[in-house]
Amino acid sequence: MANPATLRRLSSFSSQFVRRPSVHHPRPNFAAISKLYSTSPDEVSAPPLTGLKVVDLTRVLAGPFCTQILADYGADVIKVEQPKIGDESRHWKGKAETGKWKADGPISYYFTGVNRNKRSITLDLKKRKALEVLFGLVKNADVFVENLIPGKAEELGFGYKELSKINPKLVYASISGYGPTGPHAKRAGYDAIAAAEGGLMHITGFPGAKPVRPGVGMVDMATGLYMHGAILAALQSRAQTGRGQHITASLFETQISLLINIGVNWLNLGLEGQRVGSAHPSISPYDVFEAKGGQWFAVGANNERQYKILCERLGRMDLLEDPRFKTNAIRVENRKILDGIVNDIIKTKTVDEWMIALEGSGLAHGAVNSIERAFNHPQIEARGMVETLPVKEVESGEIKHIGMPVKFSETKGQIRTRAPLLGEHTAEVLREMGYEEGEIEMMRKEEVT
């Protein structure tokens, strides 16, 4: 519980939901604190979440990915980090980064990938004064996001029940490994473990080979996507009811939900999922084939019309009459034979030649690109999927960011600022909250911040 002194300080902050000025601490205009962090709402192209304030206690990937989406859409996201250490991913530097950074303190390209458009403050939340600052932030916040092991936030004094007393309209979002209830609730959660326990690894890889983790943190990122949508839904609910609420998401539940057709087949038919490489378990042909020169080419026929087109483009119309391949169900049964035939034909031309041969056919097809080739794809420039920010803290003077995949016709999202240095905005945020310079300096000396 907040002590009386803490509550007295909180009463000096003006809630963003109460439209009256404070004598000592005027309510900050969070939408216009700085155009670097939140575009002014009267601008024609202001991002859709302009004016929304988010307090972010998440680390690594799932939570930061969620809050970065909110930040890209215009929210003022204040990332609260542990003094001197910060988010673990700040320290995840590869050899290629050696000598690239001119910044003091921990920073990495991994961290920059999911923390742009945010501000960073440091607080030692085991100290009472730090909790007082956190409570002050929450008093004026719309959203609070954390990814601690369930029960830890309550232990430290900032669980949902505590914070909802300070701000009944707060949307409190919790991300964990397994959810707040159940026998594994207190276990730490990681992307690879969720992929393993949730069945994804079992169905990823080639028959007879060991299970494989996807090349990126799919479970983490999907959880972040789920949570960002849930936060927006909770804000819509608040607009109707005037009340906030506690929403929870977990890596395990996310992965189970992503099983989709594989999961439904097990639940209703008892069919166990299998590793089928790059093929589709329910469609054939639908796979990756080796082309001339050793490059790989992906192509699939999702229905009978597309299968006919594929046979035409392959120059094998006879396959349409072959009883082994008459229907999709039969083709799936004879997948190995059909894939062998298709692969022999694909090997006769290069990927570029097949791209030309299938152009305009209506068939989904494409090269299996390296990361370099992917970022040189013509759609990258056409759709603005790389954006460059000037950044003095790196040797090159700039950082290239992956662009936003969702485009708005009116209220456009923006990549406004680089990922913050550790505690870069601590003093700035404290001033906005009404703290005096002497108080800010004292908190620094006492290692509260």
> Mean pLDDT per segment of 10 residues, for the chain of length 449 residues?
44 36 36 42 73 97 97 97 93 87 85 96 95 96 97 95 97 97 93 95 93 94 98 97 97 97 95 91 93 94 93 94 94 94 96 93 92 94 94 91 93 91 95 93 92
Residues taking part in catalysis: 220
DSSP 394: B
The CA distance from 166 to 140, in Å, is 9
The CA distance from 111 to 148, in Å, is 18
Are 149 and 63 in contact by the 8 Å Cβ rule? The answer is: no
N-to-C CA span, the chain: 21
Residue located via tokens 């039969």? 330
pTM, whole model, 2 decimals?
Answer: 0.85
What per-residue confidence (pLDDT) applies to 8? 43
Residue 120 dihedral angles phi and psi, to the nearest 5°: -115, 130
Residue located via tokens 């109460």? 18
CB count in 10 Å sphere of residue 341: 16
Are 167 and 158 in contact by the 8 Å Cβ rule? The answer is: no
> 404 vs 69, 107, 119, 401, CA distance in Å?
9, 22, 19, 9
Rounded to 5°, the CA angle 215-217-222 comes to 130
Are 251 and 219 in contact by the 8 Å Cβ rule? The answer is: yes
What per-residue confidence (pLDDT) applies to 17? 32
What per-residue confidence (pLDDT) applies to 281? 87
Element (H, E) at 326: none
The CA distance from 79 to 115, in Å, is 9
Of 147, 134, 140, the residue nearest 169 (C-alpha): 140
Of 217, 328, 254, 339, the residue nearest 289 (C-alpha): 339
The CA distance from 406 to 404, in Å, is 6
Of 289, 274, 298, 288, the residue nearest 209 (C-alpha): 274
CB count in 10 Å sphere of residue 199: 20
CA 150 from chain centre, in angstroms, equals 21
What per-residue confidence (pLDDT) applies to 44? 52
What per-residue confidence (pLDDT) applies to 215? 92
CB-based contacts of 326, cutoff 8 Å, min separation 6: none
Q: Is 284 helix (H, G, I), strand (E, B) or coil?
A: coil
The CA distance from 63 to 70, in Å, is 11
Q: What region does 260 belong to: left with phi over 0, alpha with psi -120 to 50, or beta?
A: left
Token digits of residue 133: 């600052």
What per-residue confidence (pLDDT) applies to 264? 96
